[in-house]
Structure 1
């Protein structure tokens, strides 16, 4: 009968009425007392179980998806085990503490680190914290303040100023707060490169010169005037020097000779030893000239008066 219902293209599809009649006959055979315990072995007369059609395809997709997730989970587990080195005794390269401290016990390779709010990055008490970049600078940034450590230079950029404090003594070593601290260059620093500086006074030590160099244009402005004083004042420029003032511009220079600082001889002077001695004299207009000393208590009189007037 099953062979009669099949064609060369496969099983013949039955209508809803034929399926209902066949199901009714199967139930009668199962419930009949004469055929109790007897079930025909024809496939069409057996109860169909399992997932068929779309449900079977959906089950296969779910199984494949679970297999892919298992493979991904295995890869992540292997990466965590190799990189972080988690073993039976715990994590070999990291330590997690109750106070929120994360300690790296070995050399760690990282890209960008974002600490949490009010966090601290540091090393052990008796060990240095070494931060290196693979052919790249090390950049520490907080807001607009940037510390950039490069191969040949270290630069600090800040819009609000900077201050260096000794962590042990809490002493301010260097500060750009001109109102609270007098600005001094740290020991060993000879050049300060700034785009704009606001201060009351710029001075150098007594044994060195103060040099201000600029590649383009420099402007020196004072709210109550600008005073430039020095032993020698030298302005050199490739363009123009412009002096502007609301009231007046005063350029004043003079020659000052302090007699107490001139070398003097002690004892009796001998004028007959064949040594020529000169006396330094100065005119009223500041002109200096010398006079040959020929006798004791000799003044600045000379036959040719360089001052243009008679003494």
Structure 2
């Protein structure tokens, strides 16, 4: 090298003169004084340690920030809706209030939509105010188990497979109940019509000043294990089909009995008895009101038969 004290050759080291050494020392000092990059090593920028979030980490950070911003906006909208609907203010809710007993009270007209009541839930109004429940062109249905309450435009119906009971929550007095085993069945005051599919009771009565009307759309069957007794000032049966009376021993009709024959089947006068497959009977009555039948075997046959239940022919 140029900075070596002696030169090497094939014949050995060569000694420098004093002048050559001074010139070499001057050049070395000059190079050292003009070298401002001493101690620095040039390195590519891609190999340096980079700070911050770059690449996938940066994309993930942007997604997290966008998600948090979206949740914040949704939370703000929900808060505004709650504030507008429930009307929460410094004094509490203007539209509803909660009580320590679990009661939720609405203070204004509310649209509750779909209600899923909990166990033994209660819906009621204030003591001196009416509870108005309306639906948008469809019935309102409250259902708990097998019991269902339907509020429609012209009627309110309650159906249950296990029975029902209406009572005053303040006095606990039972106003109406279908429990026939513990007490007698009574309709509440003001109720004049009872619509049931099947009823089992010992007695059906009406007030002394009102009529008892039993109407059915199809077929009505009244039976009793110990007999059926129908009593009243006037008893009328209006039927669109047939009327059938069955008894194991006898049927007793007391009072004036009128049977309209306008709808009873009749045969033409020219057909002799027994000319077809019809078996005809004549309805007869004893003096005490006992009814019995006599088979018709000839024209103008009366009720004077020997085996009648009256004792003497009548």
What TM-score range do you get, normalising by the shorter chain?
0.5 to 0.7
Following superposition, the deviation at residue 137 of structure 1 comes to 3.3
Following superposition, the deviation at residue 127 of structure 1 comes to 4.6
Following superposition, the deviation at residue 82 of structure 1 comes to 2.2
Query: 2 CA distance for matches of 1:255 and 1:106?
Result: 62
1:72 equivalent in structure 2:
74
Deviations 1:12-65 (A, max 9, x none): xxxxxxxxxxxxxxxxxxxxx9635x5869745754333333333333322332
Q: How does 1:210-249 map to 2 (within 5 A)?
A: 210-245=212-247, 247-249=248-250
Change (3 A) 1:207 1:141: same
The yes-or-no answer on 1:147 pairing with 2:140 is: no
Structure with greater Cα Rg: 2
The gaps in structure 1 that reach 5 residues or longer are 1-32, 257-284, 287-311
Query: 1 CA distance for matches of 2:168 and 2:101?
Result: 26
TM-score by length of 2: 0.57
Give the length in aligned residue pairs: 224
Query: 1 CA distance for matches of 2:211 and 2:96?
Result: 55
Deviations 1:269-291 (A, max 9, x none): xxxxxxxxxxxxxxxx79xxxxx
Change (3 A) 1:96 1:197: closer
Query: 1 CA distance for matches of 2:253 and 2:99?
Result: 71
Query: 2 CA distance for matches of 1:187 and 1:56?
Result: 77
1:222 counterpart SS class? coil
Deviations 1:155-213 (A, max 9, x none): 22222333333445544333333334333444443332211111112233444443322
Change (3 A) 1:48 1:201: closer
Query: 1 CA distance for matches of 2:158 and 2:63?
Result: 58
2:52 to 41, 50, 53: 50
The yes-or-no answer on 1:204 pairing with 2:206 is: yes
Q: How does 1:55-204 map to 2 (within 5 A)?
A: 55-124=57-126, 127-167=129-169, 169-204=171-206
Following superposition, the deviation at residue 66 of structure 1 comes to 2.5
Query: 2 CA distance for matches of 1:185 and 1:248?
Result: 34
CA RMSD in angstroms, aligned pairs only:
3.6
Query: 2 CA distance for matches of 1:132 and 1:77?
Result: 28
Residue pair 1:164, 1:172 contacting (<8 A) in 2 also: yes
1:155 counterpart SS class? strand
The gaps in structure 2 that reach 5 residues or longer are 1-35, 258-286, 289-314
Query: 1 CA distance for matches of 2:171 and 2:198?
Result: 31
Change (3 A) 1:239 1:121: closer
Residue pair 1:136, 1:150 contacting (<8 A) in 2 also: yes
2:38 to 35, 52, 65: 35
Query: 2 CA distance for matches of 1:169 and 1:86?
Result: 36
Change (3 A) 1:167 1:67: closer
Query: 1 CA distance for matches of 2:98 and 2:169?
Result: 26
Following superposition, the deviation at residue 112 of structure 1 comes to 2.3
1:289 equivalent in structure 2:
none
Following superposition, the deviation at residue 97 of structure 1 comes to 4.3
2:23 equivalent in structure 1:
none
